[in-house]
Amino acid sequence: MNHGPTLVIHGGAGLMIRKNFPLEEQRKYLDALDESLRAGNAILLAGGSSIDAVETAVRVLEDCPLFNAGKGSVFTIGGKNELEASIMIGTKIHPAGACTLLHTVKNPISLAKTILLDPKNPHVFLGGEEAEKYAKTNGLEIVDPGYFWTKSRWEQHKRRLEKGKGISLAFEDSINLPSLRSKNDNFDYYPKGTVGAVAVDINGIIASATSTGGLTNKKDGRIGDTPLIACGTWADNETCGVSGTGDGEFFIRYGIAQDVAARMKYLGENVSQAASTVIENVKKVGGEAGVIVLDKYGNVAMPFNSLGMYRGYIRTFEGVPHMAIFDEMTN
């Protein structure tokens, strides 16, 4: 069955403790997901391209301080916001654009898209000051670094410093998350999520996009999986589009986004089988992860091995957003 143009999004996976998450706060996140879905779907409904749809959907989440991307980005251990993003189209030559180590580009996903579409640019990946110069030259919105400061993220940064901890990747790799959750429901959650979107348009073309502020108190200069094609982002019309969230080092080491597509291509698995198996395999090696996956027929999968993942999808022929944080979907 072909479901037609479809958009699926996520706002990050992690340790959301349901009983410590008031319903009115949950509603704020669901409303933001709803806004993102409707904005991206408007592009698809008008016959627009999947790349425009995912850019639009992700920009809404980047502009929302609730999510760890754009305005809501976390701080490095040095007290900076360092943003990154990537975008990809699923056609045969796999066009892609990516950027990292950004401090002044308001919407990194738009820079990634510009890198992809610019006929004068031969590169897939730009970073740091040169990427920001490129963004300014191409008319993208540049902001003062203070734009990304938010009280909640700054307090998370300070709490981590007061505990004498940066981000310990050895800790992230070895921690027994299920055991820890069962013993301590007040486990201090530090965002390591992303935002992302995958869409298929009326022409059956898939596009994927991912954007993030990274890990709370990551080392300055750390680059995660989000801007790395095949790790945090992948798109292939013949298999699927993928955007990931969770422990970035696992996504890098295991090439998670492309792994989902590879299982579909070489093992003949469907979207749900491939996505669920990959996420289960990440769990077996100690990683916390979630992915959103979409094929050219509009089949959706959104598995995760954390306590929750902000996520949702909309099919253009229905026009009804479906969102969830925990197990049950809502609209």
The β-bridge relationship of strands 289-294 and 241-246 is: antiparallel
What would you report as the CA-atom Rg of the chain, rounded to the nearest whole angstrom?
A: 18
Q: Check if 194 is active-site.
A: yes
Average the pLDDT over 203-212 and give the result: 98
Average the pLDDT over 63-81 and give the result: 96
Q: Which of 278, 284, 287, 283 is nearest to 257 (CA)?
A: 278
**Tokens in use for 275?**
């996505």
Inter-residue contact 112 to 87 (CB < 8 Å)? yes
Which one from 6, 76, 104, 194 is the annotated catalytic residue? 194
What gap in Å lies between CA 37 and CA 221, rounded to an integer? 32
Rounded to 10 degrees, the C-alpha dihedral 243/246/250/251 comes to: 10
**Tokens in use for 173?**
């790799």
Listed ranges 123-127, 154-158, 180-184; the one with the highest mean pLDDT: 123-127
Flag whether pLDDT at 294 surpasses 70: yes
Position 181 scores a pLDDT of 38
Residue 140 corresponds to which amino acid?
A: L
Flag whether pLDDT at 217 surpasses 90: yes
Confidence band of 166 (pLDDT split at 50, 70, 90) = low
Flag whether pLDDT at 180 surpasses 70: no
Position 165 scores a pLDDT of 59
What gap in Å lies between CA 212 and CA 245, rounded to an integer? 9
Flag whether pLDDT at 187 surpasses 70: no
Kindly state the percentage of the chain with pLDDT values over 90.
Answer: 85
* Span 43-59, pLDDT tens digits: 999 999 999 999 999 99
What gap in Å lies between CA 127 and CA 86, rounded to an integer? 11
Confidence band of 184 (pLDDT split at 50, 70, 90) = very low
What gap in Å lies between CA 107 and CA 94, rounded to an integer? 22
Inter-residue contact 227 to 125 (CB < 8 Å)? yes
